[in-house]
Amino acid sequence: MATAKNEWWRGAVIYQIYPRSFHDASGDGLGDLAGISEKLDYVASLGVDAIWISPFYKSPMRDFGYDVADYRAVDPIFGTLDDFQHLLEKAHRLSLKVLIDLVLSHTSDEHDWFTQSRQSRDNAKADWYVWADPKTDGTPPNNWLSIFGGGAWAWEPRRRQYYLHNFLTCQPDLNLHNKAVQDQLLSDAAFWLDMGVDGFRLDAVNFCTHDPQLRDNPPLKPGERPTDGVPLDNPYAYQRHLYDKTQPETVHFLKRLRALTDRYNARATMGEVSGDDSLTIAADYTRSGDRLNMAYTFNLLTQTFTAEHLRDVVEEMEAQIDDGWASWAFSNHDVARAVSRWGNPGDGEFARLLMALLFSLRGTACLYQGEELGLAEAEVPFERLQDPYGKAFWPEYKGRDGCRTPMPWQGSADHAGFSTAEPWLPVDPSHLELAVDRQDHLPGSLLNAYRGFLHWRRTQPALRFGSLTVKESEAPLLIFERRCPEQKMLAVFNCGPEPRDLQLEDSQDLKALDGHGFTAALENGTLRLPRYGVFFGGMNNEVQQEVSGNGIEGGTNHG
């Protein structure tokens, strides 16, 4: 089953680059665009299809680029527009697509738009941000909260009004109910599309519009699930976010954005969605072929790792997604690295299991820089902390710096070969033994396991484009059936630290696939899975019928 060339993103693997921490070519301790260009051959060697670059726009960097001061300018710490053009051209020569982060819900308070908007109630940009009068007692207009702590409203004495900020106080929310704001954002997106980018990752996309009536959010009821990814020591987790985000008007704007990208050839949009029911939102934002191409949620970026949780999330997404398309990630720049978050740092077999799981889900996979090295969450002492989120909630929550430390390129070099100067965040000593040069030519390394698996995956149409059915199994086993016209496949994952046996009925026509690097064995109808083991088997039509008819029995311990 081949996909249309302009749908290159279906079943693709996207490698996320956090530019401050990837590679520093200028020697100032901060990663930059030239540093990314220098390392693109390495990225291409992994077998990924695209890169996603976190923001590099002009910014005061209070939220490290997610507070944009100019959508069309590169911040000098990262280089110049010419540096980006060079990066784009080199990536395309290496057959890598390039997505860039686009922050549409808010700007920096140093953006010219906000500088003008805050001056008065009657200037040309007066309605470009979300302004509201105080209550009669001077308090904010409602109970909305900021994810980064405290209320979501800040006072502006010149207007005698509050402005909305769902994130930091210095990140005022744009008013996308104003068509002029939408028009300007679409024009800025077109600037990058004209330059040749292959699409956008859309930050916090369901925050783009708010309830115009400014109604209070209700409290979370007992038993209701809080917003995914928000720790319970944050008061934001105690509201149902019915009115401060995920409003119907956002879909209208996404349709306008899709109409813009569809005017270009083979462009893609990937939205970040968080909410009390984020899987439903992701499905809604990607259905009908006129909204986002794909969306990802925080459901697999949480603290929970069990076969049951994975099965529930995948089944719920499959039930919701309809004709939409999911994107999946286990790690990114906002959460603790998966091998630490899920409790197995330093366990190479567990890291390999996560690799196989991520790349076997139906959808597009996002791989975060250093994930292919097995990097654990770094320890960053309070005095070196940079993240304002971490500073606000220390010590119960240490923020996002631990997943943003420099990429280790050379185990014996100063600063792990990331820079010739002291980096903006310290290199964790435990990362040195996992550096690229330590793993590059080691046949059994995790890095080479990623390379081998991703190149093998390209030859497996069922994993890239096929349907997915979750089969009955006993924990800690997780079983998928992937199917497309060219191929039927059974994928079995042992999510536990002990070996397991699985009895398969009528397995004579189930053929173990090789070339993926895993060693589970099928012997006389018994599948023997080592700890955190994985099995991929090709099926013919007869075996397909048996599996569909519950021909798989529960697993038992062995060994």
For residues 170 and 69, what is the distance between their CA atoms, to the nearest angstrom?
Answer: 11
Q: Which residues contact 24 (CB under 8 A, 6 or more apart)?
A: 30, 31, 32, 35, 406, 418, 419, 420, 421, 423
At 207 the three-state DSSP class reads helix
For residues 391 and 397, what is the distance between their CA atoms, to the nearest angstrom?
Answer: 9
Return the structure tokens found at 380: 């960053």
- Is a pLDDT exceeding 60 seen at residue 543? no
For residues 132 and 156, what is the distance between their CA atoms, to the nearest angstrom?
Answer: 10
> Measured between alpha carbons, how far is residue 5 from residues 265, 355, 538 in Å?
9, 26, 26
> Measured between alpha carbons, how far is residue 393 from residues 148, 231, 515 in Å?
9, 10, 46
- Is a pLDDT exceeding 60 seen at residue 2? no
- Is a pLDDT exceeding 70 seen at residue 1? no
The residue ranges of DSSP E strands in 35-146, in sequence order, are 50-53, 57-58, 70-74, 97-103, 131-132
Q: Tell me the mean pLDDT in the region 348-368.
A: 98
pLDDT in tens, 150-161: 999 999 999 999
Q: In the chain, how long is the greatest CA-to-CA distance?
A: 79
pLDDT in tens, 264-315: 999 999 999 998 889 999 999 999 999 999 999 999 999 999 999 999 999 9
> Measured between alpha carbons, how far is residue 327 from residues 260, 362, 367, 493 in Å?
21, 8, 11, 20
Give the amino acid at 495: C
Return the structure tokens found at 64: 């490290």
Q: Tell me the mean pLDDT in the region 363-383.
A: 97
pLDDT in tens, 87-110: 999 999 999 999 999 999 999 999
Domain chopping of the chain, boundaries: 5-105+179-210+245-457, 466-557
pLDDT in tens, 186-242: 999 999 999 999 999 999 999 999 999 999 999 998 878 777 668 778 999 999 999
pLDDT in tens, 140-179: 999 999 999 999 999 999 999 999 999 999 999 999 999 9
Instruction: HSE, CB side, 13 Å, CA atoms: give it for residue 486.
Output: 11
Q: What is the pLDDT of residue 3?
A: 64
Q: Are 112 and 211 in contact (CB under 8 A)?
A: no
Residue 136 CB burial class (10 angstroms; 0-12, 13-18, ≥19): exposed
Least confident span in 136-145, 196-205, 244-253, 390-399 = 390-399
- Is a pLDDT exceeding 90 seen at residue 550? no
Domain 5-105+179-210+245-457 falls under CATH 3.20.20.80: yes
Q: Are strands 500-504 and 487-494 parallel, antiparallel or unpaired?
A: unpaired
pLDDT in tens, 12-36: 999 999 999 999 999 999 999 999 9
Q: What is the pLDDT of residue 223?
A: 79
Alpha-carbon 444 to chain mean position: 27
Return the structure tokens found at 272: 């970040």
CB atoms within 10 A of CB 396: 9
Q: Which of 83, 173, 203, 377 is catalytic?
A: 203
Is residue 476 reached through a cis peptide bond, with omega within 30 degrees of 0 on the bond before it? yes
**Closest to 114 (Cα-Cα) out of 152, 188, 178, 170:** 170
Beta bridge partners of 468: 482
Q: Which residues contact 358 (CB under 8 A, 6 or more apart)?
A: 328, 329, 330, 365, 367
CB atoms within 10 A of CB 444: 9
The verdict on whether 272 is a catalytic residue reads: yes
Q: Are 201 and 52 in contact (CB under 8 A)?
A: yes
Q: Are 409 and 417 in contact (CB under 8 A)?
A: yes
Query: How many residues are recorded in the chain?
Result: 559
CB atoms within 10 A of CB 304: 13
At 62 the three-state DSSP class reads coil
At 491 the three-state DSSP class reads strand
For residues 184 and 364, what is the distance between their CA atoms, to the nearest angstrom?
Answer: 29
- Is a pLDDT exceeding 90 seen at residue 506? no
Q: Which residues contact 107 (CB under 8 A, 6 or more apart)?
A: 67, 68, 69, 113, 114, 171, 172, 174
Q: Are 54 and 18 in contact (CB under 8 A)?
A: yes
pLDDT in tens, 431-457: 999 999 999 999 999 999 999 999 999
Return the structure tokens found at 480: 């998928």
For residues 487 and 375, what is the distance between their CA atoms, to the nearest angstrom?
Answer: 34
pTM, entire model = 0.95
User: Percent of the chain having pLDDT more than 90?
Assistant: 90
State the residue for tokens 């909260």: 145
Q: What is the pLDDT of residue 233?
A: 85
- Is a pLDDT exceeding 80 seen at residue 39? yes
Q: What is the pLDDT of residue 540?
A: 73
Candidates 2.60.40.1180, 1.20.1530.20, 2.10.10.90, 3.40.630.30; CATH matching 466-557: 2.60.40.1180
Angle at 520 between CA 515 and CA 525, to 5 degrees: 115
